[in-house]
Amino acid sequence: MSTSPRLAVLGSGKGSNFVALQEAILAGKLNATIALVISDLPDATILTRAKAFGLPTATLPPSPFKTKLGPEGEIALVQLLQDAGIEWVILAGYMRVVKDPLLSTFPNRIINIHPSLLPAFKGLRAWEQALTAGVKETGCTVHFVNKDIDAGEIIAQQRIPVLTEDTPETLHARIQEAEHELFPAALTKVFQK
Ligand code: GAR
Q: Is 180 among the catalytic positions?
A: no
pLDDT at 64: 87
DSSP per residue, 79-112 = HHHHHTT--EEEESS--SB--TTHHHHSTT-EEE
User: What percent of the chain stands above pLDDT 70?
Assistant: 99
pLDDT at 193: 81
**Which one is predicted more confidently, 130 or 69?**
130
Euclidean distance between CA atoms 191 and 109, whole angstroms = 10
Q: Give the three-state DSSP class for 154.
A: strand
pLDDT at 24: 98
Indicate if the pLDDT at residue 80 is higher than 70.
Answer: yes
Euclidean distance between CA atoms 5 and 163, whole angstroms = 39
> What is the CA(142)–ligand 1 centre distance, in A?
11
Burial of 156 per CB tally in 10 Å (0-12, 13-18, 19+) = middle
Contacts of 138 (CB under 8 A, 6+ apart): 115, 116, 117, 120, 121, 126, 127, 130, 159, 160, 162, 171, 175
93 lines ligand 1 (CB under 6 A): yes
- Domain 113-193 in CATH 3.40.50.170: yes
Domain ranges of the chain: 1-107, 113-193
Range 46-81 burial, b when 16+ CB lie within 10 A, else e: bbebbeeeebebbebeebeeeeebeeebbebbbebb
- The rounded mean pLDDT for the chain is 96
pLDDT at 127: 98
Rg (the chain; Cα; Å): 16
Q: Look at ligand 1, atom 1, and give the residue with the nearest C-alpha.
A: 93
Residues 118-170: tens digit of each pLDDT? 999 999 999 999 999 999 999 999 999 999 999 999 999 999 999 999 999 99
- Domain 1-107 in CATH 3.40.50.170: yes
Mean pLDDT value of segment 28-57? 98
pLDDT bin (cut points 50, 70, 90) of residue 36 is very high
Per CATH, 1-107 and 113-193 having the same topology is answered yes
141 lines ligand 1 (CB under 6 A): no
> What is the CA(15)–ligand 1 centre distance, in A?
8
pLDDT at 87: 98
Indicate if the pLDDT at residue 1 is higher than 50.
Answer: no
Residue 9 phi/psi, 5-degree rounding, is: -105, 125
92 lines ligand 1 (CB under 6 A): yes
pLDDT bin (cut points 50, 70, 90) of residue 5 is very high
Contact at 8 Å (CB) between 33 and 61? no
